[in-house]
């Protein structure tokens, strides 16, 4: 039976002992959460390190990308200032080729058409490569005054050994290096000798440009990568008097090459190595990029070929770093730049691959507010880089007469992370090969895609 003024039953059916209404009772105090343990602090520290590394790599890469575009004057200075020299100089052009019978003939014919009165082309063929030798001999017969064939008997074979084999046969004042698939502009030598003369340089590095932007999903990024490297970044390195030279369309005074003993016969990045070695001797390097006369090349034709190529380059950079010649550079700033440049492929690949890790940590962990803000630090240079790449792609199209479509910009953005994963895989593979003593030369196959690409562009 109820009575007036009675109390409501509690949830378990037992009447409350007091007349107080439990609904109006104060809530129990909130218990303070436990402070983070050492696993959380390790994760916080890892996230902070990733964020700072991402920012450093992104900001540095952006700065180097923009070096040539600082002012209209700096951009104009990246090209050839003079079009001809006071007198013609003599050139020896080295053309190492191994299993390149499908592309070599076109390259030799292009070199034989250069507009210059005094040069020779020395084609270097392995003794065990009869197919390529036959193509080289046929081209030498077509161009008897210009082309000669030198046989490389080294075992095992690689590019620096081939170059050293031909160096004693060079009769020119300057030695130039080209690759077997290169499409060389007829007026290049006159511009190069003018650059030698006006600058007094010991080495002239001219531009190289991959052209087939639509062959594969990664070819667009690969082409733009070369564009920034030769258009801007190498000019920065030349200004700093430390430069990892390119592998072709590079010219050096013959006497200097002989003085330093030629190329490192066992290095997988012989171009970078000799650039570092010449930098330690104070050699002056002039860099020039003119879209009208760049040497045109093609991207690797498969993912496997791309990873192998980057593995070779990364392992070569590692070899140059371990060799330690860069420590002889005269200034601390140069040595710091050398250390960073030679380890850059690994930093770039690692930080690129760690982006999803950082994002995952942000969603999984209860991250403190200051650390959350820190993780957004790399976002600014990354977004600017995306905008710069988009603008550069448009400029690339204008300079080379290629129509850039909206889908090309979409591919550029969508391909960024998968491309970084490929670079990361190549970096890891290069470390594995170096630790296991595998220094064999993994050759990149060529198919004249840059020449086919030119035909398609003209047809369009």
Task: Summarize the confidence of residues 211-231 as an average pLDDT.
Answer: 96
| pTM assigned to the model | 0.85
Sequence-ordered list of residues with C-beta below 8 angstroms from that of 383, at least 6 positions apart, any chain: none
Least confident of 13-27, 202-216, 239-253: 13-27
Mean pLDDT of 233-247: 96
Average pLDDT over the chain reads 87
Evaluate if residue 53 carries a pLDDT over 70: yes
pLDDT tens digits for range 146-179: 999 999 999 999 999 999 999 999 999 999 999 9
pLDDT computed for residue 451 by the predictor: 56
pLDDT higher than 70, residue 3 = no
| pLDDT value for 344 | 84
pLDDT(404) > 80: yes
Return the pLDDT at 51.
82
pLDDT surpassing 90 at residue 378: no
Contacts of 277 (CB under 8 A, 6+ apart): 260, 264, 325
The secondary structure of residue 391, as a DSSP letter, is: H
Please give the pLDDT value at position 9: 47
pLDDT digits (tens, 9 = 90+) for 334-368: 999 999 999 987 776 666 666 666 667 667 767 77
Instruction: State yes or no: cis peptide before 148, omega within 30 of 0.
Output: no
Residue 208 has pLDDT above 50, yes or no: yes
Question: What are 43's two structure tokens?
Answer: 């994760």
Residues 411, 323: Cα–Cα separation, whole Å? 39
User: What pLDDT is stored for residue 43 in this prediction?
Assistant: 76
pLDDT for position 361: 67
Question: How many C-beta atoms lie closer than 10 Å to residue 457's C-beta?
Answer: 16
Contacts 24+ apart (CB under 8 A), 427-432: 427/310, 427/314, 427/345, 427/346, 427/349, 427/350, 428/349, 429/307, 429/311, 430/310, 430/311, 430/312, 430/314, 430/315, 430/318, 431/315, 431/318, 431/346
Which one is predicted more confidently, 89 or 458?
89
Residues 288, 336: contact at Cβ < 8 Å? no
When pLDDT is cut at 50, 70 and 90, the band that residue 83 belongs to is: confident
What interhelical angle do 379-400 and 406-414 show, nearest 10? 140
Helix, strand or coil for residue 26? coil
Checking if the pLDDT of 396 tops 60, the result is yes
Report how far residue 375's alpha carbon sits from residue 361's, in angstroms, rounded to the nearest whole number. Answer: 10
pLDDT tens digits for 291-306? 999 999 999 989 999 9
- In 3-state terms the chain splits into helix, strand, coil percentages (rounded to 5) of 55, 10, 35
Q: pLDDT tens digit string along 254-285?
A: 999 999 999 999 999 999 999 999 999 999 99
Say if domain 39-460 classifies as CATH 3.90.550.10.
yes
Confidence of residue 382 (pLDDT cuts 50, 70, 90): confident
Which pLDDT value is given to residue 146?
97
Instruction: Give the pLDDT score at 333.
Output: 96
């Amino acid at each position: 039976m109820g009575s007036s003024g009675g109390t409501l039953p509690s949830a378990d059916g037992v009447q409350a002992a007091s007349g107080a209404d439990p609904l109006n009772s104060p809530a129990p105090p909130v218990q303070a959460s436990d402070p983070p343990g050492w696993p959380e602090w390790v994760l916080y520290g890892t996230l902070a390190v990733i964020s700072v590394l991402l920012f450093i790599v992104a900001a540095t890469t952006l700065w180097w990308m923009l070096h040539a575009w600082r002012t209209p004057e700096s951009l104009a200075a990246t090209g050839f200032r003079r079009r001809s020299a006071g007198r013609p100089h003599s050139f020896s052009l080295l053309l190492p080729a191994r299993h390149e019978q499908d592309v070599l003939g076109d390259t030799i014919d292009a070199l034989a058409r250069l507009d210059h009165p005094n040069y020779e082309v020395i084609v270097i063929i392995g003794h065990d490569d009869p197919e390529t030798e036959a193509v080289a001999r046929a081209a030498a017969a077509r161009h008897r005054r210009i082309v000669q064939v030198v046989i490389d008997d080294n075992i095992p074979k690689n590019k620096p050994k081939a170059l050293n084999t031909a160096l004693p046969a060079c009769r020119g004042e300057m030695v130039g290096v080209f690759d077997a698939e290169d499409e060389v502009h007829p007026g290049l030598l006159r511009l190069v000798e003018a650059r030698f003369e006006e600058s007094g340089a010991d080495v002239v590095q001219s531009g190289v440009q991959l052209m087939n932007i639509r062959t594969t999903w990664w070819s667009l990024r690969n082409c733009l990568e070369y564009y920034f490297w030769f258009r801007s970044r190498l000019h920065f390195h030349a200004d700093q008097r430390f430069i990892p030279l390119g592998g072709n369309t590079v010219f050096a005074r013959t006497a200097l090459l002989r003085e330093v003993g030629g190329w490192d016969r066992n290095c997988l990045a012989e171009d970078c190595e000799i650039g570092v070695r010449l930098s330690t001797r104070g050699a002056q390097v002039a860099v020039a990029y003119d879209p009208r006369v760049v040497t045109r090349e093609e991207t690797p034709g498969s993912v496997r070929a791309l990873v192998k190529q980057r593995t070779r380059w990364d392992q070569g950079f590692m070899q140059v770093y371990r060799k330690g010649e860069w420590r002889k550079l005269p200034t601390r700033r140069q040595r710091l730049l050398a250390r960073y440049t030679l380890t850059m492929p690994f930093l770039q690949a690692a930080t690129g691959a760690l982006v999803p890790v950082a994002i995952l940590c942000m969603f999984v962990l209860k991250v403190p507010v200051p650390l959350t803000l820190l993780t957004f630090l790399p976002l600014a240079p990354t977004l600017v880089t995306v905008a710069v790449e988009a603008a550069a792609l448009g400029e690339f199209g204008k300079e080379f007469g290629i129509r850039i479509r909206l889908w090309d910009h979409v591919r550029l953005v969508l391909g960024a992370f998968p491309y970084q994963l490929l670079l990361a895989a190549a970096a890891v593979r290069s470390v594995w090969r170096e630790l296991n003593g595998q220094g064999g030369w993994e050759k990149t196959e060529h198919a004249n895609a840059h020449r086919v690409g030119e035909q398609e562009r003209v047809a369009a």
